[in-house]
């Protein structure tokens, strides 16, 4: 059973894969901040249905570019029929991007700024009521508005905190409201570089490839020699899921690159949407850097299609007798 508000395919997928999932991904935190400000006075469905239009029009949610928008750019956005065409909200988004960048400069990240109010804890709504604000959202709203952000009232901030998993507000009957889900953290390795050794050992234990091979790829990513990243799901200081992105996942189609690889979720944590969230996170991260499409080699059928992947062709894995299925995410 899902939360009662999750009706229809778009809202169900958002609920199952994104809403209430803790994240320290700065790109995700900023994207949701921008979108939540546009929701003010509207339904979330309206905003969500226009998200890809927003992504394209707002330069992939690049805060630095948005902060530099001038009056001509604002006018262009006001005329864009794929957006919520409020001049005040669009101008507010530009001002909010400027404030966001100042916050990141001051605290090192927006996640660290939020930690200042929460101590890094996930707040679980135990009241049994559908809240629209709280003392926490009141405090953050007051501070954001003091710093100059627009459309950041306490109700909007509360909705934002729900969306990015600072507040776990899944209804008590919802399948996502479990103790496990309240303590899951999804992050790119760049956000937790101190996990590199543990992550390399974990992937090696799951797939049998040498730890050094994983370390080499991770070092290239952490030292900015590549944007092909590594993504983890953590639970109580343990890795319970993960995947990576590499040039070629050991197959004969060298022209199909980059590849998602090493997708794994610990058995005790399966059927909670972890793999799907990691896939979505990796694809969105790559797209934000202009890297698309992405490919994936697998023997599975019926799973990856749930997350927007399409079967492309068969490919021959190195040293494999049988050919495997190649998927693409455009």
| Whether 191 and 153 share a structural domain | no
| Whether 190 and 320 share a structural domain | yes
The reported pLDDT for the residue numbered 178 is 58
320 is catalytic: no
**Residue 237 falls within a domain, yes or no?**
yes
pLDDT tens-digit series, residues 75-132: 999 999 999 999 999 999 999 999 999 999 999 999 999 988 887 778 888 777 888 9
Joined together, the tokens standing for residue 138 give: 């009141």
Q: Which residues of 235-255 are buried (b: 16+ CB within 10 A; e: fewer)?
A: beeebbbbbbbbebbebebee
Is the pLDDT reported for residue 67 higher than 70? Answer: yes
| Whether 143 and 210 share a structural domain | no
Q: Distance from CA of residue 174 to its chain's centroid?
A: 21
pLDDT tens-digit series, residues 241-257: 999 999 999 999 999 99
| Whether 90 and 210 share a structural domain | no
Taking CB atoms within 8 Å and a gap of at least 24, the contacts of 192-196 are 192/24, 192/232, 192/234, 193/222, 195/232, 195/234, 195/239, 196/222
| Lowest mean pLDDT segment, chosen from 138-147, 178-187, 229-238 | 178-187
CA dihedral 20, 227, 294, 287 (to 10 degrees): 60
207 is catalytic: no
Which of 232, 231, 196 has its CA nearest to residue 216?
Answer: 196
Which is catalytic among the residues 14, 45, 192, 207?
A: 14
**Residue 177 falls within a domain, yes or no?**
no
pLDDT tens-digit series, residues 309-328: 999 999 999 998 999 999 99
Percent of the chain with pLDDT over 70: 98
| Whether 126 and 79 share a structural domain | yes
36 is catalytic: yes
Which is catalytic among the residues 18, 26, 31, 36?
A: 36
Band (pLDDT 50/70/90 cuts) for residue 183 is: low
**Residue 178 falls within a domain, yes or no?**
no
pLDDT tens-digit series, residues 24-37: 899 999 999 999 99
pLDDT tens-digit series, residues 137-181: 999 999 999 999 999 999 999 999 999 999 989 988 888 875 444
- What residue has token string 């958002």? 14
| Whether 123 and 190 share a structural domain | no
Is the pLDDT reported for residue 236 higher than 70? Answer: no
| Whether 121 and 254 share a structural domain | no
The reported pLDDT for the residue numbered 181 is 45
**Residue 78 falls within a domain, yes or no?**
yes
Instruction: Please give the residue range of the domain that contains residue 223.
Output: 183-329
Rounded average pLDDT over 10-21: 92
Domain end call among 143, 168, 193: 168
Length of the chain: 330
Which is catalytic among the residues 44, 45, 192, 207?
A: 44
């Amino acid at each position: 059973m899902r939360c009662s508000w999750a009706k229809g395919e778009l809202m169900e997928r958002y609920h199952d894969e994104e809403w209430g999932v803790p994240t320290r991904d700065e790109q995700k935190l900023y994207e949701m901040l921008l979108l939540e400000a546009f929701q003010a006075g509207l339904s979330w469905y309206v905003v969500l249905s226009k998200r890809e239009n927003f992504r394209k029009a707002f330069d992939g949610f690049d805060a630095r570019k948005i902060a530099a928008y001038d009056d001509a750019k604002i006018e262009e956005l006001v005329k864009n029929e794929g957006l919520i065409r409020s001049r005040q909200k669009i101008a507010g988004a530009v001002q909010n991007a400027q404030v966001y960048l100042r916050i990141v400069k001051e605290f090192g990240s927006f996640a660290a700024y939020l930690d200042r109010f929460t101590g890094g804890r996930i707040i679980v709504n135990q009241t049994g009521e559908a809240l629209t604000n709280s003392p926490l959202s009141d405090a953050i709203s007051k501070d954001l508005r003091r710093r100059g952000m627009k459309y950041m009232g306490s109700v909007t901030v509360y909705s934002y905190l729900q969306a990015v998993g600072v507040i776990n507000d899944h209804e008590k009957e919802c399948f996502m409201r479990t103790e496990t889900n309240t303590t899951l953290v999804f992050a790119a390795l760049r956000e937790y570089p101190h996990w590199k050794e543990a992550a390399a050992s974990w992937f090696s234990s799951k797939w049998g490839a040498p730890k050094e091979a994983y370390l080499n790829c991770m070092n290239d990513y952490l030292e900015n020699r590549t944007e092909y990243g590594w993504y983890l799901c953590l639970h109580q200081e343990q890795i319970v899921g993960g995947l990576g992105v590499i040039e070629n996942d050991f197959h004969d189609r060298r022209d199909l690159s980059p590849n998602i690889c090493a997708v794994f979720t610990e058995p005790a944590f399966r059927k909670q949407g972890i793999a799907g969230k990691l896939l979505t996170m990796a694809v969105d991260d790559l797209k934000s850097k202009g890297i698309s499409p992405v490919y994936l080699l697998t023997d599975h059928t019926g799973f990856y299609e749930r997350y927007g992947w399409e079967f492309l062709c068969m490919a021959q894995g190195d040293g494999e007798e049988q050919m495997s299925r190649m998927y693409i995410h455009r």
